[in-house]
Amino acid sequence: MNQGNELRDFLVSRRAAISPESVGLPPSHSTRRVRGLRREEVAILSGVSVDYYVKLEQGRAKNISEQALVAIENALKLDDIERRHLRSLIRPDSVYTPRPPATAPRVRAALLTMIHAIDPVPAVIHGPHLEVLGINYAGSVLLDDFDAMPLADRNMAKWMFLNPRAKRVYLNWDQIAPQMVAILRNAAVPGVRNDTLSSIIGDLMVGSEEFARMWSDYQLFEHTYGVKRFFHEAVGEMKINYETLPLPADRGQTVIVYSADAGSPSEEKLKLLVSWTAQSALTDN
């Protein structure tokens, strides 16, 4: 990826997300050719010259001061993730960003043992680019049988956009899918070649117009915790919490653990679902 283009695309996307009215600018009496803020409006809000901001957006500004950078970040209402990303684009050598692994990620046997030990609590091990490196039985019941898929397909983003089951499983697919795209955006290290990530993005750009559209929005996201609405034909809708547990010793790998609120209908449904499918599997064998 061209770093100058990345900087421009990112800043243009952030400008497009802000309406002039929301930042106290008077309404325009002329037809606006772009969504959101114009470049000169960002310059006014941040207190820099229009020429300076244009140079920044084009990747031509040199030695940008901390004061000017903070002012532009504030004008564009960047959150912490977006500020780190902007700084990694402007000053790639001064901001620590984890480099992609040189080889395909491999999951430790002890981690696989751990997620199987906590069954029937659903758990998944993700690689740095949303690879599904491991999943326990309850996780496969809740999501899908990733172990039965070809290795190249064991990726949450690919499953989300290329497998029709994802839209049945996630009742709030329209909210979750953009997060998957934004996680991949956030995984890119400016100025560093990443063939694995480029291959995943390439497959998704070709295979899904929805992914291509969301990729162009240039959103950034980190998996932390939250609630997702799942559906299974056997029990109906479930509201399931997820917690992301980073693995410091395993570069970019995380464990995602799913649970329902104690005593909730969703907890009862999840227990029933895992128990019922396990009994069914034993009967079939």
Position of tokens 């050719």? 33
User: Which tokens in the block code for residue 274?
Assistant: 């895992």
Q: Is the pLDDT of residue 2 over 70?
A: no
CATH of residue 189's domain is 3.30.450.180
In this predicted model, what pLDDT tens digit does every residue of 130-155 receive, in sequence order? 999 999 999 999 999 999 999 999 99
Q: Is residue 99 part of a domain?
A: no
The verdict on 146 and 219 lying in the same domain is: yes
Q: Is residue 95 part of a domain?
A: no
Q: How confident is the model at residue 34 (pLDDT cuts 50, 70, 90)?
A: confident
**Domain count for the chain:** 2
Q: Is residue 166 part of a domain?
A: yes
The verdict on 170 and 263 lying in the same domain is: yes
117 Cα distance to chain centroid: 28
Residue where a domain stops, chosen among 90, 124, 155: 90
Write down the pLDDT at residue 98.
Answer: 61
Position of tokens 């070709």? 206
The verdict on 83 and 146 lying in the same domain is: no
Task: Quote the percentage of the chain above a pLDDT of 70.
Answer: 90
Q: Is residue 148 part of a domain?
A: yes
State how far the Cα of 140 lies from the Cα of 211, in Å rounded to an integer.
24
| CA distance between the termini of the chain | 50
In this predicted model, what pLDDT tens digit does every residue of 260-278 receive, in sequence order? 999 999 999 999 999 888 7
Q: Is residue 225 part of a domain?
A: yes
Q: Is residue 211 part of a domain?
A: yes
Q: Is the pLDDT of residue 113 over 80?
A: yes
The verdict on 76 and 114 lying in the same domain is: no
In this predicted model, what pLDDT tens digit does every residue of 180-191 receive, in sequence order? 999 999 988 777
Q: Is residue 103 part of a domain?
A: no
CA 85 → CA 3, 187, 237, 258, distances in Å?
12, 10, 36, 29
Q: How confident is the model at residue 1 (pLDDT cuts 50, 70, 90)?
A: very low
- Domain with 203, as residue range(s), is 109-284
Q: Is residue 72 part of a domain?
A: yes
CA 143 → CA 24, 69, 132, 155, 266, distances in Å?
45, 42, 11, 12, 15
Collect all residues with Cβ–Cβ distance below 8 Å to 116 and sequence separation of at least 6: 136, 137
